[in-house]
Amino acid sequence: MKPFLQKYSNYFTFLVVLLLLISLKIINPSFIKSVSYLSFDLYQKVFAEKKDSDVLIIDIDENSLGKFGQFPWNRTVFAKILDQVNTSDPKAIGFDIFFTEKDKQSPDEIIKSYNLVPDNVKKLLELKSPDDIFSEKLKQSKSVIAVLGSAVPSHSNYDRKAKAKFLSRGGDPKQFTYKYPYSIGSLEKLEKDVKGLGSISFLDQLDGIIRSLPLIVQFDKKLYPTMGLEMIRVGEKQKNIYVELNEVGIERISSRPHKILSDPNGIIWIKYKKSDKKQYISAGDVYDGKFQSDFFKDKYVLIGASAQGLFDLVKNPLGITIPGVEVHANVIENILDQSYLVRNPNTYIFELLFSIIVALITFILSQKIRPKYSLSIFFGNILAIIIIGFSIYKFRSELIDISYPIFIVTITFLTGLYFRFIEENKLALANLQKEAKLLKERELAAGVQKSLFPDISKFENFIFAKNVPARDVSGDYFDVVRSTPEEYFFTLADVSGKGVKAGMYMAKASSIFRTLTNLKFPLEKVVFGVNNELVEAKFKGMFVTAVFGKINIKTGELVFINAGHESILVFDQNKNYEYIKSEMPPLGIVKYFTESMVKSSTMDLKDKTLVVYTDGVTEGYLKNGEELGAEGVQKIVDNMSEVTPKNIVESIEKELNWGAEKLRDDITCMAINIKNTELIKKVKK
């Protein structure tokens, strides 16, 4: 039995690792969900498009605020807007705003504000209030007003009832919908005259991105449709919403003639199109009638705010911030053209089984065939996962999680390579003495780390970098990734500490950087991902200072982020020097919850040179025993007749690496100048 266990110990260990990974997926904590969201968001970014819409948005924008003054406006303004829109006979008009209090310019509110005696203002009391005027216009319109779920009661609340009538088959939908004990809405006077009440409640997301929302939701034990669904019901002149259930939960929600498949809790995943300014019209322009007579004809019209000061902005999977009203516009479009996304519960089981099968194939082959062939198997499996995920999204609008299967396959492959490496080196390692073993491990670690440094010889006309480790393993790192013919990602980093542990920590950071840049994510998302993975790595007391950048060699535009690193040196052709200090803390200390926590800067690098280095440069010893310092770097540049990235880096290295027995610290330096962007062709020997 013991020989059998020893012989197949690799496989038992692999099965334990695989079970842990699958268990983690089944438990599905928030950080695992965020991994899945990477692929879900990537689909939308790849396939997002602009298209014509049956939805128009009357925008409470900056110009409108300038015209009508501070929000909320007098209700007669909205009454006039309704009058103008109704001339074109729209399908329905929805308000993504609340009217929770009486209009401040109503007669009774004016009397209250100025402590007037009612007997002295009888004529004022005879005037019709703005709320009454607005209420009449709502009654004459196919209007829908917003309702929001709340955990606390509102001071202006009343026994609100939905306008839509819900009919169900196969069970009670209230058992499966999201619930709120209370609701927030508008004045009873206004709500009683509208044709519909629509929920604008979103589900909380850790990263603040709105990917899905409930089509129906429960407020105070009463069902309400979401704003988009309610507008379609009103637009199609329907009274009822039909809910079909199965043994799992809600299966389908319908408002004739539209049928929508949902998850068991009545949730749909929104497919976003690219924002289109043509879909918006300023509220001020509508008020003044500055639109064609048929502009709103047969359109679904939403009234909402994009003005910064009204704080109704959300982030979508495309990585952009949009007004909240545009989310509801996308929902309406999704329902009308059946373009919403589907996350089938059965797909989850398929993902698990598929991950297990691919992981088993990858691991077994990694143990049986030569490493160079197993690498082909690994990349083949990754490619297969990506093709399957994108194909199902493209042709069936289904969301398949490819991020976690790729993660499982990667861990499996690395585990297989690790065991293969251990087995093939076991005999050699057994004959070495303890000190020789430690030395070998350091040499291997140094070799692995050196392999992480990219070959940038063909870029050296405009990007050149060099690393000289002070010990066997360097705690510094640089990388350059060419994402397009004109765009390059780069980084230069320094991990706290020295030795193998620092090298391992930096190796992890570098692998994450290369993975995310190869996916062509924005620089802020790359830094967001690197930081959070380093936090999860749990190397106690360690952190990374780094400069990240993305440069377009054609336009000269440089986007960069300095995370707790040395100041960046920039100088022009006249050698006027500028130091750009860090605006962010080092990475690996605090987890970022949103990408907005990552602050980037932009500059034009044409006719300029950028130099980035670690503290091993500024604190390195010269022959006279003094530190080089930032002034020393300037002096080196001043004495150069021909300023090129390669000359700068090699001159700095020559000044510090003068033959001392031990360097004080790792020397790592990078210089960029896009004056000559010609790639250097390698000569075949």
State the Cα–Cα distance between residues 231 and 428, nearest whole angstrom: 74
The predicted-structure confidence for 629-658, as pLDDT tens digits, reads as follows 889 999 999 999 889 999 999 999 888 887
Q: Of all residues in the chain, what percent carry a pLDDT higher than 90?
A: 53
Contact (Cβ atoms closer than 8 angstroms) between residue 455 and residue 682: no
Confidence at 386, pLDDT banded by 50, 70, 90: very high
Confidence at 165, pLDDT banded by 50, 70, 90: very high
Phi and psi of 202, rounded to 5°? Answer: -105, 155
List, in order, residues 6 or more apart from 437 with CB less than 8 Å away.
429
Contact (Cβ atoms closer than 8 angstroms) between residue 90 and residue 298: yes
The predicted-structure confidence for 507-535, as pLDDT tens digits, reads as follows 888 889 999 999 889 999 999 999 998 88
pLDDT at 311 over 80: no
Closest CA to 281 of 334, 325, 318: 325
The domain 453-685 is placed in CATH, from the list 3.60.40.10, 3.10.450.40, 3.40.605.10, 3.75.10.10, at: 3.60.40.10
pLDDT at 541: 77
For residues 77-83, give the mean pLDDT: 94
State the Cα–Cα distance between residues 298 and 92, nearest whole angstrom: 8
Phi and psi of 169, rounded to 5°? Answer: -140, 130
pLDDT at 108 over 70: no
Phi and psi of 425, rounded to 5°? Answer: -110, 5
What's the chain's average pLDDT?
87
pLDDT at 88: 92
pLDDT at 432 over 60: no
Q: Please report the DSSP string for 194-232 in residue order.
A: SSEEEE------TT-B--EEESEEEETTEEEEBHHHHHH
pLDDT at 560: 96
Cα distances (Å, whole numbers) of residue 394 to 381, 383, 390, 510, 541? 20, 16, 6, 32, 45
pLDDT at 114 over 70: no
Out of 65-79, 352-366, 423-437, least confident range:
423-437
Cα distances (Å, whole numbers) of residue 205 to 34, 227, 271, 454, 525? 10, 20, 17, 37, 17
pLDDT at 70: 85
pLDDT at 14: 84
Q: Please report the DSSP string for 393-428 in residue order.
A: HHHH-B----HHHHHHHHHHHHHHHHHHHHHHHHHH
CA 306 to chain centre: 21
More confident residue, 440 or 240: 240
State the Cα–Cα distance between residues 488 and 513, nearest whole angstrom: 13
Confidence at 345, pLDDT banded by 50, 70, 90: confident
Phi and psi of 609, rounded to 5°? Answer: -125, 135
pTM of the model: 0.59
Closest CA to 150 of 124, 119, 184, 122: 184
pLDDT at 72 over 70: yes
Locate the domains of the chain by residue range. 1-43+344-431, 53-164+178-237+274-337, 453-685
The predicted-structure confidence for 438-451, as pLDDT tens digits, reads as follows 566 556 655 666 67
Say which residue the tokens 């840049």 belong to: 517
The predicted-structure confidence for 455-481, as pLDDT tens digits, reads as follows 888 999 999 999 888 776 777 889 999
User: CB 445: neighbour CB atoms within 10 A?
Assistant: 18
pLDDT at 212: 92
State the Cα–Cα distance between residues 17 and 14, nearest whole angstrom: 5
pLDDT at 45 over 90: yes
